[in-house]
């Protein structure tokens, strides 16, 4: 039985002029409080070697509201201001745990415009959501129903670079597990083909078990370049520049929305039709340092693909197995186990000494599946033994600790 999870349901809404003005003020105050608290914590450490926590910054916020320069902080709801202090505390906690870099200041132009409201700062009744400091409810487009009997615990309002307004409702939900199946599949991520499967699955793949890469950014590259050229010609601070910036934002939003929609369809189909899914532990951050591949890899969005597989397998009672990133899936013959030497990326097809012809990606997907089944059996990562002087490699597996191994029962966070 799948345990209860927190799920965010995101909807678009259309605010009135008064609501848009109030939310814009709130976004500005949230950004100001975050920057002030970050500056205070940084100075306290640099000057006195003192760690300032959430409670102290909360007291600072109360004092800031009483000053003449920052009295406008009292004009908006206090809940989003307190929540941004909690977010800053979480950022420092991750920094101390060496999970991320030192927190940076929020920029008026580049940072995400958002505000988070807890249950004390909004009212949700009969399908209508009303935020604090607002008399009217938000005009939300309910594109899908919320879980039956659930009530939002947190509401996040945001505005993207294209000028669109969104509201995200965090609710308790208990997803229904999908019917069990014996099907297993190995996935090899790529650029020309987004994914290559160890076996064809459904209607998403071609005859070789490959899922095409739509390359949304590449298709809209001309549209985006034109919008950016128009933006570069506008005078800074002018209304025309603001309009041109919105056009650039819309171009980026179109690419991101289409990419996300396609990834959802692919991952949902894979989770629905397979009980066990095996993937590689790719270091996307390292791959992005390659200037030749960075743009194509970013467009493929491997990290988001993996994140979707992680939470969907956890929700619907499936198993996700991640093998060691150093496993030589492309160079290992899936028929006889021979480990070939160096194989450049331009080699897409090769023939093993045993006479078996291989498509590089299909062979890698088959080896990933075989290694994943070993992972599921022993509960750890695997790596084949080095080849013998004669060039043959035994299929016995040597257990090695992977840098990152996930199972369906483990949490993303």
Residue 17 annotated to the active site: no
Length of the chain: 413
Q: Which of 211, 205, 171 is nearest to 191 (CA)?
A: 211
What is the reported pTM? 0.82
How far from chain centre, in Å, is Cα 202? 25
pLDDT score for 129: 95
Q: Give pLDDT tens digits along the chain (413 positions).
A: 557 889 999 999 999 999 999 999 999 999 999 999 999 999 999 999 999 999 999 999 999 999 999 999 999 999 999 999 999 999 999 999 999 999 999 998 889 999 999 999 999 998 899 999 999 999 999 999 998 888 999 999 999 999 999 999 999 988 888 999 889 999 999 888 899 898 877 667 777 788 989 999 999 999 999 999 999 999 998 999 999 999 999 999 999 999 999 999 999 999 999 999 999 888 888 888 888 889 999 999 999 999 999 999 999 999 999 988 888 888 888 888 888 888 888 888 878 878 888 888 888 888 898 888 887 666 554 444 444 334 443 333 333 333 333 333 333 33
Q: Which of 41, 66, 36, 35 is nearest to 53 (CA)?
A: 41
Residue 280 annotated to the active site: yes
Catalytic residue, chosen from 173, 217, 324, 361, is 361
40 burial class (0-12, 13-18, 19+ CB within 10 angstroms)? middle
Lookup: tokens for 65: 């509201």
Q: What is the pLDDT of residues 31-88, one digit of tens each?
A: 999 999 999 999 999 999 999 999 999 999 999 999 999 999 999 999 999 999 999 9
Residue 188 annotated to the active site: yes
273 burial class (0-12, 13-18, 19+ CB within 10 angstroms)? middle
Catalytic residue, chosen from 173, 280, 310, 319, is 280
Catalytic residue, chosen from 22, 116, 188, 299, is 188
pLDDT score for 378: 66
pLDDT score for 401: 33
Residue with tokens 């897409």: 348
Distances (CA, A) of 67 to 33, 36, 79, 274, 339: 14, 14, 19, 60, 71
Query: Which letter, b or e, does each residue of 84-122 get, where b requires 16 or more Cβ atoms within 10 Å of its Cβ?
Result: bbeebbebbeeeeeeeeeebeebeeeeeebbbbbbeebb
């Amino acid at each position: 039985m799948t345990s209860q999870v927190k799920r965010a349901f995101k909807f678009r809404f259309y605010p009135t002029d008064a609501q848009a003005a109030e939310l814009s003020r709130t976004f500005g105050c949230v950004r100001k409080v975050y920057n002030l608290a970050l500056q205070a914590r940084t100075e306290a450490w640099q000057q006195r070697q003192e760690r300032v926590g959430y409670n102290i910054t909360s007291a600072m916020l109360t004092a800031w509201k009483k000053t003449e320069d920052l009295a406008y902080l009292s004009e908006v709801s206090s809940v989003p201001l307190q929540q941004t202090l909690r977010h800053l505390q979480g950022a420092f906690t991750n920094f101390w745990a060496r999970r991320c870099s030192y927190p940076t200041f929020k920029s008026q132009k580049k940072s995400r415009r958002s505000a988070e409201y807890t249950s004390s700062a909004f009212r949700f009744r009969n399908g209508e959501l009303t935020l604090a400091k607002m008399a009217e409810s938000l005009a939300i487009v309910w594109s899908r129903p919320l879980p039956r009997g659930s009530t939002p615990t947190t509401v996040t309002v945001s505005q993207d670079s294209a000028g669109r307004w969104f509201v995200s409702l965090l609710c308790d939900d208990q997803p229904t597990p999908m019917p069990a199946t014996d099907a297993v599949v190995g996935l090899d991520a790529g650029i020309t083909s987004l994914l290559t499967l160890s076996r064809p699955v459904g209607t998403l793949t071609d005859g070789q078990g490959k899922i095409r890469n739509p390359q949304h950014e590449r298709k809209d590259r001309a549209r985006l370049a034109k919008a950016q050229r128009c933006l570069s010609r506008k005078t800074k601070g002018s209304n025309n520049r603001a309009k041109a910036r919105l056009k650039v934002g819309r171009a980026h939003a179109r690419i991101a929305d289409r990419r996300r929609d396609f990834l959802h369809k692919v991952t949902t189909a894979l989770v629905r039709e397979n009980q066990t899914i095996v993937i590689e532990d790719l270091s996307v951050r390292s791959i992005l340092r390659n200037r030749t591949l960075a743009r194509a890899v970013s467009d493929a969005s491997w990290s988001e693909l993996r994140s979707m597989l992680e939470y969907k397998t956890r929700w619907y009672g499936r198993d996700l197995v991640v093998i060691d990133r150093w496993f030589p899936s492309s160079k290992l013959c899936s028929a006889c186990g021979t480990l070939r030497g160096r194989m450049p990326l331009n080699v897409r097809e090769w023939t093993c000494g045993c006479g078996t012809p291989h498509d590089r990606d299909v062979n890698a997907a088959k080896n990933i599946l075989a290694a994943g089944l070993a992972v599921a059996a022993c509960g750890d990562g695997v790596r084949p033994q080095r080849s013998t002087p004669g060039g043959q490699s035994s299929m016995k597996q040597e257990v090695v600790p992977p840098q990152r191994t996930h199972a369906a029962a483990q949490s993303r966070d």
